[in-house]
Structure 1
Amino acid sequence: MEGDRIEEVTLVHSPVDEISHLALDIGGSLIKMVYFSTSREQPIDKTQNNSSRDSHGGVSRGSKDGRLLNGRLYFLKFETSKINECLDFISSKQLHYRGHQHCGFPASDKNIIKATGGGAFKFADLFKEKLGISLDKVEEMSSLVSGANFLLKAVPSEAFTYVNGQRNYVQIDHNDLYPYLLVNIGSGVSMIKVDGDGKYERVSGTSVGGGTFWGLGKLLTKCKSFDDLLEMSHQGNNRVIDMLVGDIYGGMDYLKIGLSSTAIASSFGKAVSENRELEEYRPEDVARSLLRMISNNIGQIAYLNALRFGLKKIFFGGFFIRGHAYTMDTISVAVDFWSKGEAKAMFLRHEGFLGALGAFMNYQLVEEFPDSIRLMGEKTRDPLVGDLTDNGVIECCVQASN
């Protein structure tokens, strides 16, 4: 699959009859998938006020009828252009058969799954034709907010800053979480002011996002995939193509307005004055300049919107980031520069799955998640998926009622 989904070998190991629920976020570039798989079922320990701690550190809670589901949430991705591979995967693992009586969920012959994103409308007929699935559409902005709120409240060390090449995890005060700005960078960018559970407003956005990077990158470098383009940018030097302040001022800073000689005055600006064709530039340098331009722009617009509404916390999500060091560094520097050091960009470990997770939260049978759940997953690195290999699994407990 060439990196189209996360932890393929690790994730696809649960027996089919343990699968409980599946949710999708079908975007313009990527399909994000979240599904829940049970691992075991335990009775309530009535000696501990309907709450006990399991051997893995996850908090277990009793349900109304005394049944409890311990399991894991799995996270996968596919390219939307290869949607048939997603359909084949769902079919091969029978993920669309929702609910199994033995694991606490009522069995269902109705193949209805939660889905969000524009593709939930665009591909509804395809899912029905190929798998007999009806897509129960969940509003996109609502899903993003629900997913972000859940992660920030429930997953330890979900949010972090990225400064000087170092991740610094942020402890979230649940009593002081709101309001915040959620910047979701997918094919395009949405900026959402979040005031509480179910309380939000999309206040801004930009069409210059992940789809722009991928689209222009494909045209300019002939790169075949988003991940290959990211890897290519890692080997590049944007100063070959970008016009810097020092190029204009003879190598000097422009200190009167706070610009160093290395600040970018014009993205791709050197190409104007040089008599060179595209083929004479290294694709790596083009990719680097493109990534820098888009990341800088998003960071600046995000801070200006935070300033507009007096928001102190800015969280960045979406599959554009992918845990990529240069992307996070550029966004962080942009927020730091425009805020004069007063604001910090914060990133999310499960950055690309906010919408899919939010759609999953809309299943009525998922009554309650624990206050604290343990993050699971391999800590290995895969160049195709960057830092996402430790984002594949969350161990959790879900109540079920019959």
Structure 2
Amino acid sequence: MDHREAGIPGKSEPNLLDGHISHLALDIGGSLIKLVYFSTNDDVDVVDKAGRSGKESLGKGRFHFANFETSKINDCLEFIQTKQLHLGGCRHLEAPPTDMTIIKATGGGSYKYADLFIEKLGICLDKEDEMDCLVAGANFLLKAVHQEAFTYMHGQKEFVQIDHNDLYPYLLVNIGSGVSMLKVDGEGKFERVSGTNVGGGTFWGLGRLLTNCKSFDELLELSHKGNNRVIDMLVGDIYGGMDYSKVGLSSTTIASSFGKAISDNKELADYRPEDISRSLLRMISNNIGQISYLNALRFGLKRIFFGGFFIGGHAYTMDTISVAVHFWSKGEAKAMFLRHEGFLGALGAFMSYGKHGFDDLMFHQLIQSASLAGDKIGSPPNGKSSENESIECSIYAS
């Protein structure tokens, strides 16, 4: 479990006795469950359209992020129960009175595990469309969070200044278990233009079969130590160490992923798991980068934003995707990444509270300011970006 806590500065856990948890949202995917919740210490009196009064936490606060493997959903339920996150949920103002807590959720698991949340926690999952949430989450991050988007190539990270008046259109590539590619034209305006079934689930699934790794993080850590050239067939392997300069291929370009396994008189046990995972990561990342660019080319898009937990702040993954986009576009298009790439859907589900009667409580002016704590991007041992990342923002009623 990767838990990106961001409570009171200097503390690793939010103080639930002094503070207030407001609005939990979930994105339950095929591989991972992503959680986003908001905490603040300021309570004010509010009145809704029906004249009902009550207290709501408004003012400065922080978003908190956590994720769990979907196969270990009971760990997620225990986390919610222990931190009492569901007690900060809401009762739907437009629905009949009920003791059931309403929590916004998206992803296929919001249907698959709906009964389990009711049984274990008394939570009713109010389901939001997955693609709507992805786009809403991405738009929120790109508009509200300082230094959210960046490029990463050849080990160099560079933050991108986003002009809010010139954000659209762009291509959003969300790499989860599979990959969805969305052409985003504005707030709530998008079209799923393509996708591929070769995504994060492919990397994890094949990785488990080939290396016996027990977790996604373990597989990523292995790839960091591997050498794909032991298994991949390069242009130089075919042309006697030379470039194929006539068509612009260097000797180090991969001609065939896993190609050397054809001619090597070796069994699976003869290959290092590190090299296998590296080759697998390179193959999938290259493929996603190329398909993404080809779809951007279809619509004349120069900017491509990549999200999803497959990336996980992993330097080699980002570098491979960036090189692929750069190569196929001849430098005309750029791959850009998001600091909170794995939480787009969960953030979008959180934003959807404002569409269902809760706007009178806290969504008049949702994000007044936002800043980010920590900016470390690299390849820490677990393949994740800095666990000190958070979004701090001002939320108040006008």
Same fold (TM over 0.5): yes
Given residue 273 of structure 1, which amino acid in structure 2 is its aligned partner? S
SS at match of 2:318: helix
Structure 2's unaligned 5+ residue stretches are: 46-54, 92-96
**Matches of 1:21 and 1:256, distance apart in 2:** 58
The 5-angstrom pairing of residues 1-400 of structure 1 reads 3-7=1-5, 12-15=13-16, 18-40=20-42, 68-98=58-88, 109-364=99-354, 365=358, 366-367=362-363, 368-376=365-373, 383-384=381-382, 386-391=384-389, 393-400=390-397
8 Å contact kept, 2:244–2:251: yes
* Cα contact 1:30–1:79 (8 A) shared by 2: yes
Which residue of structure 1 lines up, in the alignment, with residue 50 of structure 2? none
Query: Do the aligned partners of 1:14 and 1:37 also contact (CA within 8 Å) in 2?
Result: no
Aligned-partner residue type, residue 69 of structure 1: G
CA distance 1:100–1:30, shift in 2 (3 Å) = closer
Alpha-carbon distance change, 100 to 304 in structure 1, aligned in 2, over 3 angstroms: closer
2:388 maps to a residue whose letter is: D
Q: Contact 2:86/2:101 (CA < 8 Å) preserved in 1?
A: yes
Between the aligned partners of 1:356 and 1:340, the Cα distance in structure 2 is 35
> Once the two structures are superposed, what CA deviation does each residue of 1:226-249 show, in whole Å capped at 9, x if it has no partner?
111111001110000000011111
Q: TM-score, normalised by structure 1?
A: 0.87
Q: Structure 1: where are the runs of 5+ without partners?
A: 44-64, 102-106
Deviation at 1:185, TM superposition (A): 0.3
| Residue matched to 1:46 | none
**Mapped contact 2:23–2:90 kept (Cα < 8 A):** no
Call closer, same or farther: CA 1:68–1:242 in 2, change over 3 Å: same
**How has the CA–CA distance of structure 1 residues 179 and 280 changed in structure 2, closer, same or farther, with 3 Å as cutoff?**
same
What SS is found at the alignment partner of 2:311?
coil
The Cα shift of 1:370 comes to 2.8
The 2-side partners of 1:377 and 1:346 are apart by 19
Q: CA deviation at 1:13?
A: 2.2
Partner SS, residue 88 of structure 2: coil
Asked whether the 8 Å contact 2:305–2:337 carries over to 1, the reply is yes
- Counterparts of 1:14 and 1:35, CA distance in 2: 14
Shift in Å, 1:399: 2.5
Task: Determine the structure 2 residue equivalent to 1:54.
Answer: none
In structure 2, the CA distance between the partners of 1:92 and 1:304, relative to structure 1 (3 Å rule), is same
Instruction: Indicate conservation of the 8 Å contact 1:183/1:316, yes or no.
Output: yes
Q: Do the aligned residues in 1 keep the contact of 2:233 with 2:254 (CA within 8 Å)?
A: yes
Rounded Cα–Cα distance in structure 1 between residues aligned with 2:86 and 2:44 = 25
Aligned-partner SS, 2:182: strand
Q: CA deviation at 1:70?
A: 1.6
- Partner Cα separation in structure 1 for residue 299 and residue 111 of structure 2: 33
CA distance 1:372–1:332, change in 2 (3 Å): same
Relative distance call for 1:337 and 1:250 in structure 2 (3 A) is: same
Q: CA RMSD in A?
A: 2.4
- Aligned residue type for 2:26: L
**How far did 1:93 drift?**
1.5
Distance 1:351 1:100, change over 3 A: closer
Q: Which range moved further: 257-266 or 367-376?
A: 367-376
TM-score, normalisation: structure 2: 0.88
Q: Specify whether residues 4 and 156 from structure 1 end up closer, same or farther in structure 2 by C-alpha distance, changes over 3 A only.
A: closer
Q: How far apart are 1:369 and its partner, in Å?
A: 2.4
Go from structure 1 to structure 2 and tell me whether the alpha carbon gap of 1:100 and 1:127 turns closer, same or farther (over 3 Å shift): closer
- Flag the 1:379–1:285 CA change in 2: closer, same or farther, 3 A: closer
CA distance 1:99–1:284, shift in 2 (3 Å): closer
Q: Secondary structure at the match of 2:387?
A: helix
> What SS does the aligned partner of 1:362 have?
helix
| Cα separation, partners in 2 of 1:379 and 1:308, compared to 1, 3 Å | closer
Residues 67 and 400 of structure 1 are in contact (CA less than 8 Å); yes or no, is this contact kept in structure 2? no
C-alpha offsets along residues 33-64 of structure 1, whole Å, 9 cap, x if unaligned? 00011133589xxxxxxxxxxxxxxxxxxxxx
Distance 2:56 2:339 in 1: 33
Provide closer, same or farther for how the CA distance between residues 379 and 270 of structure 1 changes in structure 2, counting only shifts above 3 A. closer
Native 8 Å contact 1:39 1:72 kept in 2:
no
**2:327 partner SS:** helix
Which residue identity is paired with 2:347? L
2:4–2:64 Cα contact (<8 Å) kept? no
State the Cα distance separating 1:224 from its structure 2 match.
Answer: 1.0
Query: SS of 1:390's equivalent?
Result: coil
Q: Evaluate the alpha carbon distance shift between residue 264 and residue 67 of structure 1 in structure 2; reply closer, same or farther with a 3 A threshold.
A: closer
Could you tell me how far 1:300 is from its partner in structure 2? Answer: 0.1
> In 1, distance between residues paired with 2:87 and 2:309?
28
Q: What does the per-residue CA deviation read over 1:185-210, in whole Å, with 9 as the maximum and x for residues that have no partner?
A: 01100000000000000000001000
CA 1:114–1:251: 2 relative to 1, 3 Å: same
Structure 1 residues 115, 248: closer, same or farther in 2, change over 3 A? same
